[in-house]
Amino acid sequence: MADPTVPPPSGACFFFTLPAELRNLIYEYALTERNGLFSNCHNPAVLTSSPDGTTSANQLKSVCQQLHAETRGLDLRCNVVNFSARCSEFHSVVQQLVQLLDTHGSSQHAAQIWTTLSVSDTPEIDHPSLAIWSNVHTLLDCCRPHPNAHIELRIPALDIFSQGGLAFLYGCALSDVIRGTEHCKKLLGGIDAHTERIAAARRGKDLGALNLQNLKIFPPQNASDIREQLIKLGWWTNPSGLIRRNGQVDLWLQVIQGWYANGI
């Protein structure tokens, strides 16, 4: 009988000429039987450490294991994965994302992942800014061992058009924590409560450990003509209690435009 692992001149492998039912039985035996990994042969064992010279690894199972290892995370590399708060009533968006990367992620496979995070996803934390930071911190810990997983996080609380100055304040605080900017100090004149939270969030952490380029944070929706829209809304004239100083409106608008275009 011809060796089924050697394709004939016609190019068709003998193994695949067997009936599908028989092939399935072979697969089942090779992959599930207790000793299915091994087969008896007359060649020395080169693929196992077994002292038995008549035992070598079952090539079918080895190939299946190799295919599994090489294709792990391939679905993430070839697809854009989008999470929303409606995905599961039991797990938050961040929990779903972390579980997905831990299960399917691989440093060899890049993934473009979009996710939308609502403050309500962390009900046990009362203050919105702390809820946002808690989830972002979890994602930073997740992104660090998966450098090729590119995550774009969209946070409704950063919506300038609906949240006004509060969204700007949250965005400045996040930028200061993970990017090392000084927006709260330079653009907002320093806000004691948030400055204290920023200091606490960064305490004992190197900037490089937080400033991960594979995590970008955006407002919840794309927007163009930011300046014109904010002017129409009159946002800069009374931005939710923020103190406006000479020349700062233009700086605010530049920062906001950058967030919508490139993320935090």
Task: Name the pTM for this structure.
Answer: 0.62
Between 215 and 248, the higher pLDDT residue: 215
> pLDDT, tens digit, for every residue of 140-195?
888 888 777 778 888 888 888 888 778 888 888 888 888 888 888 888 776 656 66
Phi, psi of 69 (to 5 degrees): -65, -40
* Helices 165-179 and 192-202, axial angle in degrees (round to 10): 30
> pLDDT, tens digit, for every residue of 44-80?
444 445 555 555 556 666 667 666 666 666 666 666 6
Q: How far apart are CA 108 and CA 53, in angstroms?
A: 36
Between 261 and 14, the higher pLDDT residue: 261
What single-letter amino acid sits at 33? Answer: E
The reported pLDDT for the residue numbered 45 is 45
SS3 57: strand
Average pLDDT of the chain to the nearest whole number: 70
